[in-house]
Amino acid sequence: MFSSLVALLRRDLLLAARDGAGLGTTLGFYLIVVSLLPLGLGPDAVLLARIAPGALWVALLLAALLSVARLFEADYQDGSLAILQTAPLPLELVVVAKIAGHWVSAALPLVLATPLVGLLLNIEPSLLLPLIAAMLLGSPAISAIGAIGAALTLAARKGGLLIALLVLPLYVPTLVFGVSSVETNGLGNAGALAPLLLLAAISLASLVLAPFAAAAALRIHAGN
């Protein structure tokens, strides 16, 4: 079972690597959202530095949402999803492989690009390490929660809009604690570890619950 899970994850990563347009679109959207903020807010370096952590988190959520909508779409269109649903590997583990593949191929590159993108917002260098740590801890929840929305809206007309309506409210705790963890580190607060622990707890809970919820949605869709 473990070898099947690894093989499925390797397959998704290879497909993501071959389809470079997906990663390019996600990174391009991330860069565009961040680069538009200085144009809209003006050249006030102090203001840009103050809003930088929150702006980068919002841009990360929106960019990840752009890619998570296609989590099951390709497999559904070519019939692979129907085969996976009848395979010996439980559907919940299939969803786990999909979540892991999305995190490695979409969310992780966004996190790694954050230090360079943050220069556009004049982010303080001392905040980069807490920001990266918070994004690494919180981004698995983005992929896991997004998998639920992708499964619920699979093959739906205007599915991109539906998944945004379903998933964005569930991203709010991750956004709040992600920004809070950076702000408390910037203030030198001794309790700065608490938001990071809460982010880790949200990600763990999402990784445990999301495969069951997404698998149930996929089974309902197959039954229809």
When the pLDDT of each residue in the chain is averaged and rounded to a whole number, the result is 85
Helix, strand, coil % over all residues of the chain, rounded to 5? 90, 0, 10
What are the tens digits of pLDDT across the range 22-65? 677 888 889 998 888 888 877 777 888 888 888 999 999 998 88
What are the tens digits of pLDDT across the range 168-181? 999 999 999 998 88
What are the tens digits of pLDDT across the range 199-218? 999 999 999 999 999 999 88
What tokens does 157 get?
């007309």
> What pLDDT is attached to residue 11?
85
Residues written for the chain: 224
Three-class SS state of 135: helix
What are the tens digits of pLDDT across the range 135-150? 999 999 999 999 999 8
What are the tens digits of pLDDT across the range 65-117? 888 878 888 788 877 888 888 877 888 998 999 999 999 988 999 999 998 88
> What pLDDT is attached to residue 160?
67
What tokens does 136 get?
């690494």
Euclidean distance between CA atoms 138 and 80, whole angstroms: 30
Helix (DSSP H) and strand (DSSP E) numbers for the chain: 11, 0
Euclidean distance between CA atoms 87 and 89, whole angstroms: 5
Which residues, 6+ apart, have CB-to-CB distance to 141 below 8 Å?
Answer: 171, 174, 199, 202, 203, 206, 207
Euclidean distance between CA atoms 216 and 180, whole angstroms: 34
Q: What is the DSSP letter of 153?
A: T
Backbone angles phi, psi at 88, to 5 degrees: -60, -30
How many other β-carbons are positioned within 10 Å of the β-carbon of residue 158? Answer: 8
> What pLDDT is attached to residue 58?
92
